């Protein structure tokens, strides 16, 4: 992923790179555990399988699944929302003069044969002609729906240029992490020596619960915070104290997430009281 860089040391690509690494490490960790159990000579094959299933249920699968359930989901929603916000042109319904001009263009296009009409719009030197043709349903312009969609996409590409290219690269990065999640899941299944059907049946409850918790956190409204008050307090700290505060917040977030997942997993495993 050589082109996928953030301007600084933070950003979506940096997060996805770390996520990719974490997913790989989770699967490799289970393999290392399997090898260590074999080398110890203390367990039968069945005993090793049972131990590995415990580790997979409590640690490995949550580590892998959380990547897809939370950060990948967040990145995917961001990509979709940003693409949806891209419009081929700005339309002001109050601009009556421009709308009358568009109607004249569409009337002119409808006097042509289908092929002539398509060529006229595709080869138009004035983008206003294209805007007039695609600003209404295909039936009103006389263009094929596929032609209308293609023209709209080309205007979006011309208008957003580098932003769209960066968004496509982010999409590729997300897809790479998604494939890594699927691949790591297969690595775990193979390390356990299980078939796909048996693996899914064994760990479906854990995966479903992780997905449910991730969706719940994503939909939970964020509490209102008095940022002015918080910032006043933070600014009163010296540099070292501010750094300690940031590290403490990060650590507490990891602990909270870990506790939530472990509590749910323990409950599903029948270990919770």
Of 142, 160, 178, the one marking the end of a domain is 160
For residue 230, pLDDT over 80 is answered with: no
Instruction: Calculate Rg over the CA atoms of the chain.
Output: 27
Assess if residue 7 is contained within a domain. Answer: no
Structure tokens at 11: 């950003």
CA angle 118, 158, 10 (to 5 degrees): 150
Same domain, 166 and 214: yes
Q: Which helix (H) or strand (E) holds 237?
A: none
Residues 227 and 190 in one domain: no
Write out pLDDT tens, residues 37-66. 988 888 888 898 899 999 999 889 988 888
Specify if 203 maps to a domain: yes
| 122 plus 67 within the same structural domain | no
Find the domain containing 270 and state its range: 223-273
Whether residue 183 sits in one domain with residue 54: yes
d(CA 263, CA 256): 11
pLDDT at 197: 93
Q: Are residues 34 and 121 in the same domain?
A: no
Same domain? For 174 and 129 the reply is no
CA distance 196 to 186: 8
Q: Please give the pLDDT value at position 14.
A: 81
Same structural domain for residues 186 and 54? yes
Of 143, 160, 177, the domain-final residue: 160
**What gap in Å lies between CA 84 and CA 91, rounded to an integer?**
15
Model pLDDT, residue 242: 72
Q: Do 151 and 22 fall within a single domain?
A: no
Both 228 and 272 in one domain: the answer is yes
Q: Residue 21 domain-assigned? A: yes
Question: CB 206: neighbour CB atoms within 10 A?
Answer: 20
Long-range contacts of 94-98 (CB under 8 A, 24+ apart): none
- The pair of structure tokens assigned to 160 is 């957003």
The DSSP 8-state label assigned to residue 111 in this structure reads T
Query: Are 19 and 122 within one domain?
Result: no
pLDDT digits 0-9 by tens, 89-140: 887 778 888 888 888 998 898 889 989 999 999 988 888 888 888 888 887 8
Q: Please tell me whether residues 124 and 238 are part of one structural domain.
A: no
Q: Is residue 114 part of a domain?
A: yes
Q: Does residue 194 lie within any of the structural domains?
A: yes
Q: For the chain, what is the domain count?
A: 3
User: Quick check: is 67 in a domain?
Assistant: yes
| pTM assigned to the model | 0.63
Among 71, 55, 95, 15, CA closest to 210: 71
Residue 17 resides in a domain: yes
Q: Which of 160, 192, 212 is the last residue of a domain?
A: 160
Indicate whether 38 and 169 sit together in one domain.
yes
- Is residue 232, in this structure, part of any structural domain at all? yes
């Amino acid at each position: 992923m050589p082109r996928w860089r953030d301007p600084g040391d933070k950003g979506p690509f940096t997060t996805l790179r770390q996520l990719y690494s974490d997913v790989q490490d989770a699967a490799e960790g289970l393999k290392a555990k399997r090898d260590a159990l074999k080398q110890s000579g203390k367990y039968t094959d069945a005993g090793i399988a049972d131990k590995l299933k415990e580790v997979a249920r409590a640690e490995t699968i949550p580590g892998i699944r959380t990547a897809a359930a939370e950060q990948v989901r967040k990145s995917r929603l961001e990509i979709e929302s940003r693409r949806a916000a891209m419009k081929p042109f700005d339309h002001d319904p109050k601009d009556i003069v421009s709308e009358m001009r568009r109607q004249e263009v569409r009337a002119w296009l409808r006097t042509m044969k289908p092929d002539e009409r398509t060529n006229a719009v595709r080869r138009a030197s004035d983008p206003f002609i294209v805007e007039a043709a695609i600003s209404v349903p295909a039936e009103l312009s006389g263009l094929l729906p596929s032609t209308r969609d293609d023209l709209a996409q080309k205007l979006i590409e011309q208008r957003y240029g580098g932003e769209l290219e960066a968004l496509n690269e982010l999409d590729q990065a997300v897809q790479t992490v998604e494939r890594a999640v699927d691949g790591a899941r297969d690595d775990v299944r193979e390390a356990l020596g299980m078939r796909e059907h048996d693996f899914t049946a064994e760990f479906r409850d854990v995966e479903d619960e992780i997905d449910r918790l991730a969706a719940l956190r994503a939909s939970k409204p964020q509490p209102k915070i008095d940022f002015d008050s918080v910032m006043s307090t933070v600014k009163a700290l010296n540099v070292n104290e501010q750094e300690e505060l940031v590290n403490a917040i990060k650590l507490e977030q990891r602990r909270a997430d870990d506790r939530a997942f472990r509590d749910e997993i323990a409950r599903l495993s029948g270990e919770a009281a």
